[in-house]
Chain A
């Protein structure tokens, strides 16, 4: 593969990663990554993912693209995926040229399982971006030496792109959670502002004080305020017909 062809290839894979507009969560990101990986590294016949379990926000809820062999490496603590997760080389990539040859001795137990599943070779590459879950992307080949230097390069670069997508997914999921809480907190702030004639910051400080004094999360304090107002409204305690502005 020439340099131009490599970039063109990876551009196509990126278009798949970026397909449609935004990415909502990890599950969607991982699905896209696995689908696009074949465009980036066509030598791969099967693609899967081994999540690391050390990041606070892990991929543990994501199950679909994690195949038996991907999970097995973590169970056995053996295989290319474990090497890229535990002790990655500078390009983040580990290649098994032939599980039926010299690599058989390197990963004896895992090799047996890989060969049983009909694969001969493999690349594992580390997906890692600060702030996003870490994982190994596994590309399996049906013949020995399926992956040459260019394939390894393509996998290494693709992993960087996949990492960016995971980061976007992490941020989107986190902001979605914040969004759900923000309605409640905003309302409770408004109630405090109106009740005590406070500005926004002082109103929020009041909620935080109450949260700390009672050891209840701010969002739950806000929910409580909201519920109290709701109860008051249904009890008919309020003034007459409201109008705004």
Chain B
């Protein structure tokens, strides 16, 4: 039997660090994990960040330092640098390296190179994070010394970038779903309030919400959020504490055992 492949062992450790003990539902956490794990995994990397284009705007995400944030942003502003090349014209392995920005690579990225050198970085390695159509992203790693990122670093970064991209994809999906859940929750609350206020069922209450959204040309979720906050505010202002017993319906019925305990008795609503 051959000995275990050290590259695979390294990447397995990285995978564990990427997802261990934390939820992928928060996109920012995922981005930060990707950057920190990349810096720890790719030999020679001193610092890093992610550049991401969404809806035509590129931003610097989870930079390890303020300097990195500036350099990543600068590449987007200049539309020049290894990061831009990795996002837009990635070679087959998805990796673009700057060997020495104070030397031969200075002419390759004439505006970005002096700024990077000035900030203390001569080597840059950018890996494309393969995404879905509407987003582009690259993981950028920086090192002070020139010629830091050799073939082994390039291979590690290329493969790490693939698993990071898949994780990012999953994390984005999860955070979108989480947002949908939060939205649905608010809409549910508003529906419930209308059900109670007007003694209608869920469907009718929802239709009322939709009508109101259409009539006021306001998003459904915004109508719902307004309705719930308005009701809470109004009651707080009017009757800070005692309103718990405001409805005749709200007194706890003596026979209201089981799930009904504490939830009020619907018969009281029938006037």
Residues in chain A within 8 A of chain B (CB atoms): 3-4, 6-8, 10-11, 14-15, 17-18, 21-23, 89-93, 95, 129-131, 149, 152-153, 156-157, 160-161, 163-165, 167-168, 171-172, 175-176, 178-179, 182-200, 203, 206-207, 209-211, 213-214, 216, 220-221, 224-226, 228-235, 237-239, 242-245
Contact = CB atoms under 8 A, between A and B. Distances in A.
B57 to A, nearest CB: 21
B contacts with A: majority SS: helix
B187 to A, nearest CB: 7
Nearest to A129: B19
Contacts of A184: 188
22 contacts: A3-B93, A8-B92, A11-B162, A90-B9, A91-B12, A153-B5, A160-B163, A161-B162, A167-B24, A167-B170, A168-B24, A172-B170, A187-B189, A187-B202, A193-B231, A196-B247, A200-B232, A211-B259, A224-B260, A225-B263, A229-B195, A232-B270
B69 interface: no
B7 interface: yes
B78 interface: no
A214 B263 CA distance: 12
Most chain A CB inside 10 Å of its own CB: which residue of B11, B93, B189, B271? B189
Interface stretch (B45-53, B96-104, B107-115, B151-159): B151-159
B173 interface: yes
A166 B209 CA distance: 38
B188 A182 contact: yes
B4 A90 contact: yes
A172 B8 CA distance: 27
Contacts of A210: 259-263
